[in-house]
Amino acid sequence: MAKIKKGDVVVVIAGRDRGKQGRVLEVLVEREQLIVEGIQRVQRHVKPGTRKASMEGGIITIEAPIHASNVMLVDPQTKKGTRVGYRTNEVERDGVKRTVRVRIAKRSGKDV
């Protein structure tokens, strides 16, 4: 189970965007990197017809990947960065008991 998933709100703890918060748009598992909305924005020079989003050429601004070690999950209660822990719950579905791992915020103990 991944500590940070698509759709989570994270805060940058290192780098030029330190302190900014954003939503995770994509997780690159093999490279241990994330693409976060509004974070690590870079400019690219694009020829016409090379990108699907912009058929025009010119200079575009996109979000570049940031390493997962440079971000922390935002605690839903305190709105600050927190570590992620796990708790196991016993869930019964259709008469079958299963153990399910749930992500929790270490700072407040609330489910993420």
DSSP 110: -
6-16 tens-digit pLDDT: 999 999 999 99
Q: Is residue 4 part of a domain?
A: no
Q: Is residue 2 part of a domain?
A: no
55-89 tens-digit pLDDT: 788 888 999 999 999 999 999 999 999 999 999 99
Asked whether 70 and 12 are in contact (CB, 8 A), the reply is yes
Full-model pTM: 0.83
**Share of residues in the chain with pLDDT > 70 (%):** 95
Taking 90 as the threshold, does the pLDDT of residue 22 lie above it? yes
Domain extent at residue 37: 9-105
Which residue, among 12, 35, 11, 40, has the nearest Cα to 25 in the 3D structure?
35
3-state secondary structure of 70: helix
Domain count for the chain: 1
Q: What is the pLDDT of residue 19?
A: 95
**CATH number, domain containing residue 88:** 2.30.30.30
